[in-house]
Amino acid sequence: MSRAQWSPQRWRDLPAAQQPEWPDADALERVLKELGDLPPLVFAGEARTLTASLAEVAAGKAFLLQAGDCAESFAEFSADDIRDKLKVILQMAVVLTYGAGVPALKVGRIAGQFAKPRSSPTERVGDVELPAFRGHMVNDDAPDATARIPDPSRLVAAYHQAASTLNLVRAFTKGGFADLAQVHIWNQQFVASSDEGRRYEQIAGEIDRALRFMAACGIDLKAEQSLHQVDFYTSHDALILGYEEALTRMDSLTGDWYDCSAHMLWVGERTRQLGGAHIDFLSGIHNPVGCKIGASTTPTEVVALCERLNPERTPGRLTLITRMGATAIADALPPLLEAVTAAHHPVVWACDPMHGNTFVSDGGRKTRRFDDILTELKGFFAAHHAAGTWPGGVHLELTGDDVTECLGGFGDILEGQLHERYTTTCDPRLNARQAIDLAFRVAELLRA
C-alpha cells in the first residue's frame, strides 16, 4: 500500500462507502472522462503553501478557521451569497487574530462542498419513503422519487459552480474587498445592530486607529501586502471518488499527485475505514488532508489513520477534526491526544462542535443548540490544556445569512422559530450573528 504504487484509480479496487447508485455506468464514465479533460481548479503550489501554513498551526503558532456550508446548493448560488459568507469568515478571523493575538488560517467549506454522506440510504418525507438526498453533485433535494435519482451530469455542474465560486473568492480576497481598511463594511446590517455586531465594531474601530497610528509613524501601509489581501483556501469532503479521481493531476514540478478540486480534502466519519477506498485515495494525494474523528474512535485506530495518511510525519499534512458531542468529548478526546502525541505525529487538532450535537426538534427540523456547540468547544480546549497539546482550530457550518437553523445564541432563537428562515439543504448552520458570537467565545478560550 505504499505511495509509490498508488494511482488515482486504485480506490476502485477497494470497498467505497457512501457512493451513489448511478443508474447508468457508461454515462458516469463519459462524464468522468469529460472532467478529466477540464482544467484544474487549484494548483499544486497553492496546496503546498497551505500545508506550510497548517504546519504553523501544528506547531501552535496559528489557528485554523475552517468554515462554510454543510452542503453548497445549486439553487442558492449568487455573488451576494458568496460575499456574505466571506464577510462573516473574515470578521471571525479578525476577532480571533485581534482578540487572541494568533494568526487565523482561513479555509472555506466552499467551491466544491456538494456531496453528503448519509446515515440512512432512504428518508421519510410525509408518508413516503424516498432515496436520501446526497448533495447537489449527486441528486436533487426536492421530495420526489425522480429528483432523487443520481445524475452524473451534476458532477460537471458542480465543477463549473466550484470554478465560478473560486473565481469570485479569489477576486474578493485579492482584489480589495478583504483589505483591512474595509473591516467596517464586513459588518452586515442585521449584525451591526446586535450586541455581537457592536462588539465587532469596537475592534474594527481599534484596527482603524492602529492603521492610522502606523501611517502617522511613517510606515508605508500601501507596501504591506498582508494588510490588503488575505489568503483564503478551499476544502470539501472527498466523498464522490470518481469526481476526485478525475481532478487529480500530476504536478509537473515535483511529479507528485494532487487532487486539484480543492486545496484541502477531508474524509468524513462514515468514510474513514482504514481498508476503504477513501483513506486509500487521500493517502496518495499530496494535498493537506483532514479526517473526521467521532467519539467511538479508539487510540489504536487514530494512530493507524495517522500512519496511513502521514507516514512521513510531515507537519501540516494531516488535520484530525474531532466531532464528538458536548457530553462525550471530555472522556473521548484525552486518550486520543495521548496516543497521537506518544506516536510523535505532528497533527493539527481541530474541533468540529457541530456534527456531534445534531438532533431533530419537536417540529421535525434538524437543529443544534448554540450552548452544546460552546460546551464541546470548552471541552476541546480543556482536554488540550490538560494534555499540553495545541487546540489548533475549529471546523464550523455557517452562513452569512440571517437564518434560523441553530437554537440559542444572543438572539436566542427558539424551537418555535426554526421554520422562519430555515434554508439549509442539509445540516443546520450558524447564522452570521451566532458565528461572530462564537468567534468571541473562541478568542476568550484561546486567551485563557
Q: By C-alpha distance, which of 50, 54, 43, 16 is closest to 320?
A: 54
Does 70 bind Co ion (CB under 5 A)? Our answer is yes
- Of residues 117 and 411, the one with the C-beta less far from ligand PEP: 117
**What is the nearest approach in angstroms of ligand PEP to the Cβ of residue 271?**
7
Does 427 bind Co ion (CB under 5 A)? Our answer is yes
- Of residues 18 and 173, the one with the C-beta less far from ligand PEP: 18
- Of residues 70 and 86, the one with the C-beta less far from Co ion: 70
**What is the nearest approach in angstroms of ligand PEP to the Cβ of residue 278?**
11
User: SS3 of 374, please?
Assistant: helix
Q: Sign of torsion, CA 247 249 253 256?
A: positive
**What is the nearest approach in angstroms of ligand PEP to the Cβ of residue 295?**
11
DSSP element (H, E) containing 334: helix 329-342
**What is the nearest approach in angstroms of Co ion to the Cβ of residue 109?**
9
> From ligand PEP, Co ion, none, which one binds at residue 228 (CB under 5 to 8 Å depending on kind)?
none
Distance separating alpha carbons of residues 187 and 256, to the nearest angstrom:
42
**What is the nearest approach in angstroms of ligand PEP to the Cβ of residue 91?**
22
- Is the distance from CB of 136 to CB of 158 less than 8 angstroms? yes
Q: Applying CB under 5 A, which part among 51-59, 119-127, 330-338, 425-433 lies near Co ion?
A: 425-433
> From ligand PEP, Co ion, none, which one binds at residue 56 (CB under 5 to 8 Å depending on kind)?
none
- Of residues 364 and 388, the one with the C-beta less far from Co ion: 364
Residue whose CB is nearest to ligand PEP in the complex, by number? 268
Q: Which parts of 12-31 interact with Co ion (CB under 5 A)?
A: none
**What is the nearest approach in angstroms of ligand PEP to the Cβ of residue 356?**
8
Distance separating alpha carbons of residues 392 and 349, to the nearest angstrom:
5
- Of residues 315 and 393, the one with the C-beta less far from ligand PEP: 393
> From ligand PEP, Co ion, none, which one binds at residue 323 (CB under 5 to 8 Å depending on kind)?
ligand PEP
| Terminal CA-CA length for the chain | 43
**What is the nearest approach in angstroms of ligand PEP to the Cβ of residue 355?**
4
- Say how far residue 425 (Cα) sits from the centre of its chain: 16
> From ligand PEP, Co ion, none, which one binds at residue 365 (CB under 5 to 8 Å depending on kind)?
none
Q: Applying CB under 5 A, which part among 1-9, 82-90, 193-201, 420-428 lies near Co ion?
A: 420-428
- Please compute, for residue 355, the number of CA atoms within 13 A of its CA located in the half-sphere on the CB side: 24
- Of residues 100 and 318, the one with the C-beta less far from ligand PEP: 318
- Is the distance from CB of 302 to CB of 388 less than 8 angstroms? no
Q: Sign of torsion, CA 289 432 163 141?
A: positive
Distance separating alpha carbons of residues 347 and 45, to the nearest angstrom:
21
Does 439 bind Co ion (CB under 5 A)? Our answer is no
Q: Which residues pair with 110 in a beta bridge?
A: 235
Instruction: Name residue, grid cell 500601501.
Output: 222
Distance separating alpha carbons of residues 345 and 316, to the nearest angstrom:
10
> From Co ion, ligand PEP, none, which one binds at residue 268 (CB under 5 to 8 Å depending on kind)?
ligand PEP
Distance separating alpha carbons of residues 80 and 96, to the nearest angstrom:
24
DSSP element (H, E) containing 320: strand 318-322
Residues lying near ligand PEP in the complex (CB under 6 A)? 70, 117, 237, 268-270, 292, 323, 355, 427
User: In this structure, what C-alpha cell is assigned to residue 205?
Assistant: 474601530
**What is the nearest approach in angstroms of Co ion to the Cβ of residue 427?**
3
**What is the nearest approach in angstroms of ligand PEP to the Cβ of residue 158?**
16
**What is the nearest approach in angstroms of ligand PEP to the Cβ of residue 270?**
6
User: In this structure, what C-alpha cell is assigned to residue 337?
Assistant: 491526544
- Of residues 70 and 137, the one with the C-beta less far from Co ion: 70
- Of residues 72 and 401, the one with the C-beta less far from ligand PEP: 72
- Of residues 94 and 291, the one with the C-beta less far from ligand PEP: 291
The single-letter code of the amino acid at 167 is N
| Ramachandran assignment for 234, one of left (phi > 0), alpha (psi -120 to 50 degrees), beta (any other) | beta
- Is the distance from CB of 391 to CB of 64 less than 8 angstroms? no
User: SS3 of 385, please?
Assistant: helix
Q: What are phi and psi of 439, to 5 degrees?
A: -60, -40
- Of residues 44 and 291, the one with the C-beta less far from ligand PEP: 291
- Say how far residue 238 (Cα) sits from the centre of its chain: 11
Q: Which parts of 109-148 interact with Co ion (CB under 5 A)?
A: none
- Number of residues counted as binding Co ion (CB under 5 A): 2
Please give the residue ranges that form the binding site for Co ion (CB under 5 A): 70, 427
